[in-house]
A and B are shown apart, each in its own frame.
Chain A
Amino acid sequence: MSGIKALGIDVGSTTVKIVGVDTEGKMCWHILEQAEPRVEDQVERFLDHTRQVVGTLDRIPLVATGYGRGLVEQATRSVTEITCHAKGVYREFGHGGTLVDIGGQDSKVIGISPEGKVLDFVMNDKCAAGTGRFLENTASRLKVPLDRMGDEALSVVEEVPISSTCTVFAESEVISLIAHGVPVASILRGLHRSLIKRTVAMIRTVGIVPPLMLSGGVVLNPAICRLLEEETGEKVVLPRYPQLMGAHGAALFALEILNDGSQVS
């Protein structure tokens, strides 16, 4: 098989992804796994896997991105996830706008120009509230499986406001709400609202230039998209593979290296 001409690997804090693109830059292959503690071993395994698909990696450039990009020794070069995400979504949508990426352990908002360039960005990697971890933590308290959280939250109209912005304190607030017999779905809706409100504050820092685009693992949760639309009054567009935007962008940079050795643009 293959047709893979260039590779991008996104070593994130919760997941590791690798994407292969063809001569046109179209995503033609990928793997996505939960991040393991020994990232180097996992990356090596990913590359072994890739070798089985493409034969040799000799003439296939690899660009690494994500927090662990520095650990990918095999990479031709590394590019930050900000630039790679912008590249990936621009390729997918063909227009600029405001990209919101809510990952497992961090979140970022990137302003993208009509030509696909990064205009501005803000990141939150200091506080778990405002990231997927906020929901994960409380989901375990509520004994709701992660992939059901969004649907549960959307199943009710009543919403309990969660006043704590801190993940740890929100957890104790949730415990006390359960003890008071508040329905789980209403608590969940409140939790989603709280996460989105934090995200919107970040978006406002960069300023919304429509359309609003959403990527990252949390996108798989339908409540995120719905509440974000509610809070911003903007239509939110989703890429086909929300978790692969960074790796796809990295692969596109790798393709540029293959084609003409051009710089990050």
Chain B
Amino acid sequence: MSVADTLRYHWNVNLLGRAALRWRRWQTELLAKTGSGWRSEILTPPLRISAWTKELVGRHYLQGNFAHLHDKVAWVTSGAPIEFLRALDFYVLYPENHGAICGAARVVVEIASEAENAGYSRDICSYARTDLGTLISGKTPVGKLPKPDLLLACTNICQTVLHWYRVLAHHFEVPLILIDTPFIYTQVSDHALTFVKQQLEEAIPMAEKVAGKSLDQRKLKQITRLSQMATYLWLELLERCKHRPTPISVFDQFTQMAPIVEMRGDAVTVDLYSAMLKEVNDRIAQGIGVVPNEKKRLLWDNLPIWYRMRYLAEFLGRHGIVITASTYTNAWGELADLINPEQPLVSASRTLIHTLLNRGAGDKLATMRRMIDEYNLDGVILHSDRSCKPYSIGQIDQRDRLIREYGVPALLLEADHNDPRSFSEEQVANRLDAFIEMLGV
């Protein structure tokens, strides 16, 4: 990377880009202040701080657009350990998160069709199809995705990533680090933890080689510490929703979660969530809820339906129903206690292996039950996600046991987190209506 490249990078990212994003943020904040930017008679406007979150996510993808001038790039799966990559100054991209952006921007059908036309089955996860579609066609709402120098996939979320990243490795002809995490049926064993830790130890020299520098242990500890701080803050934010009325709904959580996923070890993420917590505390102090007259509080299981969030929020909000918590957003906070900045690799092995999708279905049920109690919830919506098999498997039994053993009404809602072709509005509305009537609202 030449001096000219570095200058071009800073000119585009840190001067022009940053100014443009800041300007957009100010505009949004101004609109929020005057209340003129929000058109919903049912829902409370989003947090004012959303403008900042948007700016940060925008900046992250802007950096990606110019990353080839400045950084080595790693593509990683959502459950992967990024702290050591950040410590080696990699620009880290999450194709799944990019997929979610495409989902919310409602461009998935167009992009995923490119992958389907190339022969990828529609039964493959829609995140993978979106990513492969972008790969094939270059189509993306974020400008462009930087070409990776390194790939890091971790099997703690699903087996799809294993094959997906092999395709990426083949396409880009770059090294792929694979971290295999043994599934935890009941308890994690010491040798499973050692196995994961050893893989991390083997991964580091590979990543160092690509980065062209050695890992600075102090920096790694510092980044792990920031990760932990952000994770604790995220968890605290979610726990604020134990209040009645719920200050932020699960739909707000979904839109605010991008930084905890893709900017976990950054200092700015800690700043963002600290400020967010303050705003949420203010809401609580003022008694502001997401819906004006909160009657019922629900739990959401599985990924969001990115392309229909507002629809669902308003549909339920109209009846005074708010989705207060979700196992999905919780998964990004629940492991905070396992992070130990003094022992970054041990801590990474522990968090990797304990990821929600790497634990047995009974464990998820227990998590749901705990959340129902702690958040005082009246029912559960289990999104049966056609794409995400590991999240959806077991839901029929989980629903059954929630109803029978716990007396909690539960609804299975069939859809797909990213592909609107698997979402039937009529059928969803009918089920939700019946569920709402059943809840006695």
Contacts and interface: CB of A to CB of B under 8 A. Distances in A.
Contact of B430 (A118, A125, A265): A125
Interface string B382-425: 00000000000000100010011000010010100000000010
B438 interface: yes
A6 interface: no
A126 B437 contact: no
B400 A205 contact: yes
Interface string A78-91: 01111100000000
A222 interface: no
B296 to A, nearest CB: 14
Given A80-B430, A118-B437, 9 more contacts: A79-B437, A83-B437, A118-B434, A120-B438, A123-B427, A123-B434, A125-B427, A126-B414, A126-B427
11 contacts: A83-B434, A118-B438, A119-B403, A120-B438, A123-B430, A125-B427, A126-B414, A126-B427, A205-B396, A264-B437, A265-B440
B437 A82 contact: yes
A80 B427 contact: no
A98 B124 CA distance: 37
Interface of A: 67, 79-83, 117-123, 125-126, 205, 207, 264-265
A82 B434 contact: yes
Contacts of B434: 80-83, 118, 121, 123
B271 interface: no
Most A CB contacts (10 A, CB to CB) among B403, B404, B437 go to B437
Contacts of A119: 403, 438
Interface of B is mostly: helix
Contacts of B431: 123
Nearest to A204: B400
A83 B438 contact: yes
Contacts of B437: 79-80, 82-83, 118, 264
Most A CB contacts (10 A, CB to CB) among B400, B409, B434 go to B434
Contacts of A126: 414, 424, 427
B123 interface: no
Nearest to B431: A123
B430 A67 contact: yes
A121 B411 CA distance: 8
Contacts of B374: none
B373 interface: no
A123 B424 CA distance: 14
Contacts of B110: none
Contacts of A82: 434, 437-438
Interface of B: 396, 400, 403-404, 409, 412, 414, 424, 426-427, 430-431, 433-434, 437-438, 440
A120 B426 contact: no
B433 A207 contact: no
Contacts of B412: 122
Contacts of B430: 67, 80, 123, 125
A67 B431 CA distance: 11
Contacts of A120: 403, 409, 438
A207 B403 CA distance: 11
Nearest to A110: B434
A35 to B, nearest CB: 15
Nearest to B397: A205
A265 B433 CA distance: 14
Contacts of B404: 207
Contacts of A125: 427, 430
Nearest to A263: B440
Contacts of B433: 80
A118 B435 CA distance: 9
A121 B426 CA distance: 17
B302 to A, nearest CB: 17
Nearest to A122: B412
A88 to B, nearest CB: 14
A125 B438 CA distance: 19
B401 to A, nearest CB: 11
A83 B434 CA distance: 7
Contacts of B414: 126
A159 to B, nearest CB: 29
A121 B438 contact: yes
A207 B396 CA distance: 12
A66 to B, nearest CB: 10
Contacts of A264: 437, 440
B400 A207 contact: yes
B10 to A, nearest CB: 53
A64 to B, nearest CB: 12
Contacts of A123: 427, 430-431, 434
A125 B431 CA distance: 10
Nearest to A108: B434
A166 B69 CA distance: 54
3 tightest A-B CB contacts, nearest first? A82-B434, A80-B434, A83-B437
Contacts of B400: 205, 207
Contacts of A117: 438
A129 B424 CA distance: 18
A118 B431 CA distance: 13
Contacts of A81: 434
Contacts of A83: 434, 437-438
A79 B440 CA distance: 12
Nearest to B396: A205
Contacts of A265: 440
Contacts of A67: 426, 430
Contacts of B396: 205
Nearest to B414: A126
Nearest to B433: A80
A120 B379 CA distance: 12
B379 to A, nearest CB: 11
Contacts of B424: 126
Contacts of B440: 264-265
Contacts of B438: 82-83, 117-121
B402 to A, nearest CB: 10
Nearest to B411: A121
